[in-house]
């Protein structure tokens, strides 16, 4: 038996495979396809203090080996999540993590205080990197001062594991990673989507209602791998790798580059059963390479 468990701060994941926010709904949408309890954990839809309608359609443009989205954090708000979704999710024993966004520091803090009370939720992922809402999100994640201010404020009210999700839309991701670590983050996850754009030449118009959107899928994987490697070498807290992971080999590449765990996003749209296949694929890889403990893969890149 190979050992697949990894630790992110105080929480132990039964394996390193998580799902990326905004690509996995509330998890229950996948019940027909997979056994959620096979996952290390699942990160649910981006949630904000107040309900949001999101951006206008079209919100999606397909690109070579990827897609742009401009969903704009459509969700029913944190109270709805706590009252109507959370109770139903406690039946799964995999770790449930909510992804929290906001447009002001105060919004983040009020919502984080509420989430702190949820017994069956051991962590939150703070999204300071959404490129699709004007009044915030990414605004915090692209400067050290902005990132520090949100993380510090949330840290004061949120007592469990605090994961901070970083934006790739910066000059030096390691500076931001160090700033959020210093402000009290227990872990960093990266990358959120890369700011991009798509044009319809026939109509001479942008495809997305918002003109720009966030790029995800295999197209972003090399950028994500590079950033995970850089951040792994810059901070002490565990790094969670995200970006274009489609199979177990991709996941292992991220672990070798320094990720303790990985999140699968866009891959879920192509194959809703992909997460469990990645868990199995990591196990196979370890057997083939005679590795007993998955932790031995973390940062094991030979350079």
Partner 1 sequence: MKKSVKDLIILENECLNDDSHKIVFQAPDVDSDILPGQFANVLVKDSQTTFLRRPFSFYDVDVDEKSFSLIIKKVGDGTRKLCSVRPGEELSVIYPLGSGFTTPEKDEKVLLIGGGSGIAPMMLMAKKFAPQTSNIHILLGARSQKDHIVLDEFEKVGNLLLTTEDGSIGEKGYVTNHSIFKEISSFDKIYTCGPNPMMEAIGKIAKDNNIFCEVSLENTMGCGFGVCLCCVTPTQEGNKCVCTDGPVFNINELKW
Ligand X SMILES: Cc1cc2nc3c(=O)[nH]c(=O)nc-3n(C[C@H](O)[C@H](O)[C@H](O)COP(=O)(O)O)c2cc1C
Instruction: State in angstroms the smallest separation of the CB of 23 from ligand X.
Output: 5
Cis check: omega of the bond before 58, within 30 degrees of 0: yes
Report what 57 binds from partner 1, ligand X, none; CB cut-off 5-8 Å by kind.
partner 1
Q: CA dist 109 to 152, 184, 265, Å? A: 10, 14, 26
**CB–CB of 282/16 below 8 Å?**
yes
Instruction: State in angstroms the smallest separation of the CB of 19 from partner 1.
Output: 10
Exposed, middle or buried: residue 114 (CB in 10 Å: 0-12, 13-18, 19+)? middle
How far apart are the C-alpha atoms of 177 and 237, rounded to whole Å? Answer: 10
Residue (130 or 208) nearer to ligand X, CB: 130
Closest CA to 45 of 63, 13, 68, 72: 72
144 is catalytic: no
Exposed, middle or buried: residue 123 (CB in 10 Å: 0-12, 13-18, 19+)? buried
Is 63 near partner 1 (CB under 8 A)? yes
Report what 53 binds from partner 1, ligand X, none; CB cut-off 5-8 Å by kind.
partner 1
Is 295 near partner 1 (CB under 8 A)? no
Binding-residue total with partner 1 (CB under 8 A): 32
Would you call 243 helix, strand, or coil by DSSP? coil
Q: List binders of partner 1 among 225-284 (CB under 8 A).
A: 268-273
Q: List binders of partner 1 among 116-155 (CB under 8 A).
A: none
Report what 243 binds from partner 1, ligand X, none; CB cut-off 5-8 Å by kind.
ligand X
Instruction: State in angstroms the smallest separation of the CB of 129 from ligand X.
Output: 6
**CB–CB of 6/255 below 8 Å?**
no
Interaction pattern, residues 43-62, with partner 1; x per rule: CB under 8 A: ----------xx-xxxxx-x
**Which of 130, 188, 237, 261 is an active site residue?**
130
How far apart are the C-alpha atoms of 129 and 194, rounded to whole Å? Answer: 10
Report what 80 binds from partner 1, ligand X, none; CB cut-off 5-8 Å by kind.
none
Q: CA dist 7 to 118, 198, 242, 295, Å? A: 20, 39, 17, 9
Report what 236 binds from ligand X, partner 1, none; CB cut-off 5-8 Å by kind.
none
Q: Which residues bind ligand X (CB under 6 A)?
A: 20-23, 46, 69, 71, 73, 99, 127, 130, 165, 192-193, 216-217, 220, 242-245, 264-267
Instruction: State in angstroms the smallest separation of the CB of 294 from ligand X.
Output: 20
Neighbouring-strand partners of residue 161: 123
Choose one: 65-73, 191-199, 224-232, 255-263; the region binding partner 1 (CB under 8 A).
Answer: 65-73
Instruction: State in angstroms the smallest separation of the CB of 129 from partner 1.
Output: 18
Q: List binders of partner 1 among 172-191 (CB under 8 A).
A: none
Exposed, middle or buried: residue 195 (CB in 10 Å: 0-12, 13-18, 19+)? middle
How far apart are the C-alpha atoms of 128 and 131, rounded to whole Å? Answer: 9
Name the residues annotated as catalytic: 130
The residues that touch partner 1, with contacts defined as CB under 8 A, are 22-25, 29-30, 32-33, 53-54, 56-60, 62-67, 69, 71, 74, 217-218, 268-273
């Amino acid at each position: 038996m190979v050992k697949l468990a990894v630790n992110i701060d105080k929480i132990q994941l039964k394996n390193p495979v998580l799902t990326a926010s905004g690509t996995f709904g509330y998890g229950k949408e996948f019940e027909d396809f997979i056994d959620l309890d096979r996952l290390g954990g699942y990160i649910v839809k981006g949630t904000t203090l107040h309900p949001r309608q999101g951006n206008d359609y079209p919100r999606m443009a397909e690109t070579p080996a990827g897609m742009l989205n401009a969903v704009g954090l459509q969700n029913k708000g944190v109270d709805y999540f706590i009252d109507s979704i959370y109770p139903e999710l406690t039946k799964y024993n995999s770790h449930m993590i909510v992804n929290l966004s906001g447009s002001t520091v105060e919004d983040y803090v009020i919502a984080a205080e509420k989430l702190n009370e949820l017994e069956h939720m051991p962590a939150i992922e703070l999204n300071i990197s959404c490129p699709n809402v004007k009044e915030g999100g990414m605004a915090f994640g692209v400067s050290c001062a902005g990132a520090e201010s949100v993380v510090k404020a949330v840290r004061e009210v949120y007592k469990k594991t605090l994961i901070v999700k970083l934006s790739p839309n910066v000059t030096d991701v390691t500076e931001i990673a160090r700033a959020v670590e210093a402000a009290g983050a227990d872990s960093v996850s990266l990358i959120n989507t890369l700011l991009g754009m798509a044009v319809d030449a026939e109509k001479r118009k942008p495809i997305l209602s918002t003109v720009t959107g966030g790029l995800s899928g295999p197209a972003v994987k090399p950028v994500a791998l590079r950033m995970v490697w850089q951040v792994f070498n810059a901070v002490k807290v565990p790094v969670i790798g995200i970006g274009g992971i489609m199979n177990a080999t991709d996941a292992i590449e991220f672990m070798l580059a320094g990720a303790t765990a990985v999140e699968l996003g866009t891959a879920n749209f192509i194959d809703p059963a992909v997460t469990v296949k990645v868990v199995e694929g990591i196990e196979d890889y370890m057997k083939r390479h005679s590795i007993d403990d998955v932790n031995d893969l973390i940062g094991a890149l030979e350079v």
